Each structure stands twice: as structure tokens, then as C-alpha cells.
Amino acid sequence: MFLPRASLAVALALFLASPSAAAEHPERIVFAGWNIRNYVLSPPKKADGRPVVPPKPPASIEAIVTTILAIGPDILGLCEIGTKKDLADLQRRLRRGGLDLPHSTWVKGPDKVRHLALLSRFPLGRPRHLTRETFQHDGFPHQPRRGFLNTTVVVRPDFRLHIVGAHLKSRRVVPQFDQAEFRRRESLILRRHLDHLLQTEPEAPLLVFGDFNDTKNSAVLGSLLGRQGTPGALTAVPLSDRQGDQWTYHWAETDEYSRIDFLLVNRILRPLIRRAGTRIHRTRNWALASDHRPLVVTFELPPLPKP
């Protein structure tokens, strides 16, 4: 969010009084969003003693760390991280590789295995994650399985980036309910939250990242993007890799390549996108790291106001 002029003047004066902060005030930031596929080191066990998911193999962890270091994000949004300890493990590995993202937040949703999280070079505002929302489906109450990440990143005293993260229901068929309708209802809850944000803070730059498990022309994406041409509309950041491919996910079971991961921005943030450095990150060993590929966007920030 942008601060009122009086508050901004005070914050800016304090900011510029600090030599280290003044030397670091960014003119450009890089955000990366990635589903890192079950980054779980010590998975919980089923009743029969078997792990719910296999532990993340060391080679896969190394591929994830190497990929993130190559991107060098200032802010990293994650889907499918395990516990807080697993998040701290990734944070330490990145720090050892030269990328220090000291600020973090983690979402405790109903899913006990896979979580949303954020790592940042910049301080975070108080998180307001959504983890208690409910909806009716097939006559029973349900909750979005991973909740929704909701926080602000204090990039500069004059620039707070509002970030929302989501990981909607997978497309795997389950006997309990219609997975597509479940996902659509999750998206409606998220859209109501986005409407509230955009109404209460219409001038705040907003970025939504996530694995939406649905494609561009789906009802899910339609609801999240909102009605185009209105103040509440969001835009999907155009993304492709260096060869022009736009897929973000490979479903091995059906050998299907699709784009189900997205970065969405509001009208305030959209003009700040810098085409150079905005992409789907392509590497040779992408499949070793995850079944998803990282999404990267670079923003050119407005000039720092004079005190």
C-alpha cells in the first residue's frame, strides 16, 4: 500500500538517515513463484506406518536450490512446502548459496502436509492469512485445503507490495466430491477476499501467485481475474520461457503439459512490469526439482520521492 504523505515523509527521513538502508533502496525487484512439489523432509505417517508422501530426495532439493539461486529473487512465493522446519531448511540452504531471504511467513491450512509460504529480502507486514473460511459443497461444509497466504512486503517506505498466494484443489478425481466444483468454490472465496482488498486499498499494488490447477479459459481463472475493464480486474502476467513455451506443469500420469500456475496483478502494479527478466524459468533439470516450473516477474519501481 502507499503511505499517506505525512507518514511517508517521516518514514522516508528515517530511511535515508540509515546509510545501509539508503544504499540498498531498490529500484527494481524480482519475484518468483513456484510449486516445489512436496518439499517435505520428515513426512507424517499413515495408520499403517507408511509416509503420506515420500521424503524429498537430496538430488531434488539440490536442483530446487540451484534453480532458485540462478533466478536470484528478492521475494519467493512457494507452494507445497512442508513444515516450518522444512521452510527454514530451504532458507538456510539458499543463504549458504549466497541468497539471503531472512523474512518469512508460512500458512497453517487444513492440509497437514503441503503449505503455502513466502521468503523475502524485505521485511513483512503482519500477515493476515485466510485459514478458517468455509463453504458448502454436496451438503457438507469444507475449507480451502491450503488456506490463502495474505501479507505485505515493505519493499521501501513508500512502496508496500500486497501479496496473496493460493494453491487450489488438484485435478485428481476423489470419491468424496466433484474436484472441479470444489476448486471453483475455493476460487470464489479467494475472489471475495481480493474484492475486499481492492475496495479498501484501491491504490495498493497487488500480486497474486499460485498453483490454481486450472487453465486460462476456466471458470476458476475467470472468477479470479474478475470483470475486465473494472477497477477490481486483475491481469495474468504474460509468461513464456526462452524457447517460447508457456506450459508450467507436467502431469506424468497423463503425459500432459499445461499452464496452471499464474501470476496476477492489479492495475496499479501492471505498468511496473519489466519485460526483460519476466519469464517462465527454463532449466535442463526442471523435472528433477519439481513437476512445476518457476514463474518470474521483474518490477521497475517508481522513483523514490524526495524528502
Domains by residue range for the chain, with CATH: 26-300 (3.60.10.10)
Percent of the chain with pLDDT over 70: 92
pLDDT tens digits, 14-63: 444 343 443 367 999 999 999 999 999 999 998 898 999 999 999 999 99
Q: Find out whether 278 and 237 touch, Cβ atoms under 8 Å.
A: yes
Alpha-carbon gap, residue 181 to 178, rounded angstroms? 5
pLDDT at position 178:
82
Crossing angle, helix 84-96 and helix 58-71, to 10 degrees?
60
pTM of the model: 0.91
- Calculate the alpha carbon distances from 117 to 16, 95, 98 in Å: 31, 17, 20
> Mean pLDDT across the chain, nearest whole number?
90
Residue 232 clears pLDDT 80, i.e. is over it: yes
pLDDT tens digits, 271-281: 999 999 999 99
Alpha-carbon gap, residue 40 to 55, rounded angstroms? 6
Q: Find out whether 193 and 150 touch, Cβ atoms under 8 Å.
A: yes
Calculate the CA dihedral of residues 32, 37, 42, 45 and round it to 10 degrees.
140
Side-chain-side CA neighbours of 51 within 13 Å: the count stands at: 10
**219: its cell numbers:** 471458470
DSSP one-letter string for 189-200? HHHHHHHHHHHH
Residue 256 clears pLDDT 80, i.e. is over it: yes
pLDDT at position 298:
98
Looking at residues 182-191, what average pLDDT do you find?
94
**81: its cell numbers:** 512446502
Confidence of residue 229 (pLDDT cuts 50, 70, 90): confident
pLDDT at position 24:
64
- Contact partners, residue 191, CB within 8 Å, separation at least 6: 223, 224, 226
Least confident of 162-166, 194-198, 301-305: 301-305
The DSSP secondary-structure symbol of 51 reads: B
